Amino acid sequence: MYNYEELGLVNTKEMFDKAYREGYAVPALNFVTIEQLNGMIDAVIEKRSPVILLVSPNLHRQLGHEMTARLAQVATDRIKNAGLNIPVALHLDHGMTFEQCVAAIEGGFSSVMIDGSKLPFEENIALTKKVAEYAHARNVTVEAELGILKGKEEEGTEGTNESMYTDPVMAVDFIERSGCDSLAISIGTCHGLVKMVPREDGTLPELKYDILQYISDKKPGFPIVLHGCSNISQTYVDMINQHGGHIEKTVGIPDEQVRKAAGLAVCKINIATDGWICGLANTRRILDEEPGAIDSRCFTLKIRPLMKELYLHKIEIMGSGNRA
Ligand code: 13P
């Protein structure tokens, strides 16, 4: 059992209050390697940005309670040792069951997501409420989801389909009845590589800011979360393909659209795929360039500054620099 305060972590309440008031979003950054985690903390320290460490239930299982909690503690220690007081939350991404959320809270997470978005509306409310009661008794914040995002969540779905967007009227009802502290909604972003489908004239569709606007008019101050906001840089896609990989050309969420959402009611923006492809593309490139290498440090040492660069850019787009 870990207490998140002892790990130097905070929940997302004050982070989101400030982000909402000041019109920026907190970067919620997934990591699967130490280089990613170190690169993101380097960026956060340089830019004095609050950050949310995103850990999936799979990674939590893979690393185990101790490793996950201690990695988060190393992040907060590094910030403290730099003489800074930057808020860091450890957040369970896409907890699918009450039990996964309980395991995360016992493991020192300061925030959990319960994703009941595939359940019927009333069941989603009931599950979210159950998690919120358990979490709030331990001062842990809860994110819920309404509306299905394409991508990994909904494999095999092509194109953006109207019925997948979050219904804003239902979202307001959900916020009022579920006890969640923030809500992930679907306004056109999606997980994974395949995101936006260009129109026939080559232009890109806009995110549905009107859904966001409706919710914030009815629930001013309530933090909205956007998943699936990676930009999918063509540079990394090309690098992967040039060095033995094979992934399709695809269009991510343009930076300007993410920036606009961050200035509205969106207080948390999730990024996973951009970090993965930056790490993997450069690993492939370096391994090709150094065929005689026998030590993984030939690439790990070079990946960290590249990760830092990526996350500095994310902080800049979300407007979260100098907020801590
Ligand atoms: P991306 O796939 O766009 O990085 O989104 C990740 C995410 O939302 C994780 O929950």
Q: pLDDT confidence of 154, banded at 50, 70, 90?
A: very low
Q: What's the average model confidence in pLDDT over 111-133?
A: 97
- Judge if the beta carbon of residue 184 lies within 6 A of ligand 1: no
Active site residues: 93
What is the pLDDT at residue 153?
Answer: 45
- pTM attached to this predicted model: 0.95
Q: What's the average model confidence in pLDDT over 68-88?
A: 98
Residue type, 322: N
Higher pLDDT, 150 or 2: 2
Residue 244: CB atoms within 10 A of its CB come to: 10
pLDDT at 117 over 60: yes
Pair of tokens at residue 210? 């009107």
H-type alpha helices, the chain: 13-22, 34-47, 57-81, 98-106, 121-136, 168-178, 209-218, 234-242, 255-262, 273-289, 297-318
Indicate which atom in ligand 1 lies nearest the CA of residue 152.
Answer: 2
Pair of tokens at residue 27? 């970067």
Candidate from 26, 29, 30, 186 with most ligand 1 atoms within 8 A of CB, to mutate:
30
What's the mean per-residue pLDDT of the chain? 94
Indicate which atom in ligand 1 lies nearest the CA of residue 230.
Answer: 3
